[in-house]
Amino acid sequence: MAAWPAAVIAGSAQHRHRAALIAPDGDQEPAEHTPRPGAGRLGPIRGWWGAARGWWVRVAGEGAAAPRWGATCGWWGAIRGWGAARRSCADRQWIVRAPAQAGRMTEDEKAVTVLGLGAMGTALAGAFLAAGRPTTVWNRTPGKAGALVAGGAVEAATIDEAARASRLVVVCLWDHRSVQQALDPVAGALAGRTVVNLTNGTPGQGRELAGWARRHGAAFLDGGIMAVPPMIGGPGAFVLYSGAQEVFDAHRDALDALGETMWVGADPGLAALHDLALLSAMYGVTMGELHAFAMVRSAGLSTTAFAPLLRRWTDAMSGFQERMAAQMEARDYTTGVVSNLAMQAAAFHNFYDAAHEQGVSPELIAPLYPLMQRRLVEGGGAEDLTGLVELLNTRRTTA
């Protein structure tokens, strides 16, 4: 029997469905994801087999008994088989939507759920709405969704309902523990969906959640929001993401609504690592500024009058990050030094003495001095202050 009918059958006996794709976490198969009817595990194999058979019929002319039909049906089988294979792969979540297709998404595919309507969750949901995404919201304590609902959001009565409403579920709660408490009971509802956690946490907590999501059949990204609520959706906001890049790519279009999106690596802990590193720098600057204001206030001076001076000085002393990074990469802290450690350490005691004279606690500036002393003892007097980074690794090796 000529092979072409088999090729047509193999290519055709697949499943028609909406091409709603969600992203896998790596190549995982969500345990509780239910492919559409008929899209069994063999779907992709049958599809590719159909395509191959069709191609073979066309090329080898197996349909000699009916050459014209053989060629036509060979092509037909190949095309149908290829299409069926792609759809089945999508059903199995082995492929993700190309960004170019985002414009053709259905309302269902565009839908987003936001869990948590604190200041940040509310801003996130508002940004999704503003971007034209059907948005479902949920908050532990009801009554916080009024403005969002007025703007077109749907308030889910339960977190389970909220989780099932969208393929993309964004979580922004108080802390890691509250995320665990909220998500654990609805793990089943999250299977086959993508969870994006934008709650502040540690790298370890991000990895733990990624493992939890994987075990429950959900794709996962951890995120760090580098913005305050009023900035969300505006040009200054950026959000860091980590986790499987295919997951990020598949949802990037949606996440772009919140601010500039930046993927920082496949390790799900990396978004939190970057987030906390950046926030640490912010807090370091703030600590110095608080101390400066306290000193000025201790003399009965106007903080308002002092503020422009403070801004001018901090602006002048910023912008050296790339140079610092280069010194660290080279582990050479002595080239091109303008203000060496020995000089800075000699003056630093004045900060303590002045604080005591003024009745100001030196506790915000205190940690730097012992580090300076240690580095001096190690022979780092000619170095830039950057050399102190060598003292901060508690897992220091001799390499």
Q: How far is the CB of 174 from ligand FVH (least distance, A)?
A: 3
User: Considering the rule CB under 6 A, would residue 118 count as an interface residue with ligand FVH?
Assistant: yes
Residue number with the shortest CB distance to ligand FVH? 118
Cβ closest to ligand FVH, residue 51 vs residue 171: 171
Cβ closest to ligand FVH, residue 93 vs residue 200: 200
3-state class (DSSP) for residue 203: helix
Cβ closest to ligand FVH, residue 135 vs residue 386: 135
Q: How far is the CB of 126 from ligand FVH (least distance, A)?
A: 12
- Residues that bind ligand FVH (rule: CB under 6 A) add up to a total of 22
Residue from 34, 101, 158, 181 touching ligand FVH (CB under 6 A): that is 181
Segment interacting with ligand FVH (CB under 6 A) among 84-92, 149-157, 175-183, 352-360: 175-183
Q: CA-CA distance, 42 to 107, in Å (whole number)?
A: 29
**What are the phi and psi torsion angles at 362 (to 5°)?**
-85, 10
DSSP string, 122-138: HHHHHHHHHTT--EEEE
Q: CA-CA distance, 63 to 68, in Å (whole number)?
A: 8
Alpha-helix runs per DSSP H in the chain:
4-12, 43-60, 67-91, 107-110, 119-130, 146-150, 159-165, 176-183, 187-190, 203-215, 245-255, 270-298, 303-316, 321-330, 341-358, 368-377
Query: Binding to ligand FVH (CB under 6 A): which residues in 124-163?
Result: 139-141, 144
Strand partners, 241: 223, 263
Q: CA-CA distance, 291 to 273, in Å (whole number)?
A: 27
Q: How far is the CB of 172 from ligand FVH (least distance, A)?
A: 5
Cβ closest to ligand FVH, residue 178 vs residue 344: 178
Per the rule left: phi > 0, alpha: psi between -120 and 50, beta: everything else, 217 is left
Q: How far is the CB of 314 from ligand FVH (least distance, A)?
A: 21
Q: How far is the CB of 3 from ligand FVH (least distance, A)?
A: 59
Residue from 56, 174, 293, 306 touching ligand FVH (CB under 6 A): that is 174
Q: CA-CA distance, 68 to 28, in Å (whole number)?
A: 44
- In Å, the largest CA–CA distance within the chain is 105
Alpha-carbon 334 to chain mean position:
37
Residue from 3, 120, 254, 273 touching ligand FVH (CB under 6 A): that is 120
Please choose, from the candidates 87, 259, 234, the residue with its C-alpha nearest in 3D space to the C-alpha of residue 170.
Answer: 259
Residue from 173, 218, 257, 295 touching ligand FVH (CB under 6 A): that is 173
User: Considering the rule CB under 6 A, would residue 238 count as an interface residue with ligand FVH?
Assistant: no
Query: Binding to ligand FVH (CB under 6 A): which residues in 217-236?
Result: 225, 228-229
Residue from 145, 182, 244, 272 touching ligand FVH (CB under 6 A): that is 182
Q: How many Cβ atoms from other residues are within 10 Å of residue 85's Cβ? A: 23
Which residues of the shown chain bind ligand FVH in the complex (CB under 6 A)? Answer: 116-121, 139-141, 144, 172-175, 178, 181-182, 199-200, 225, 228-229
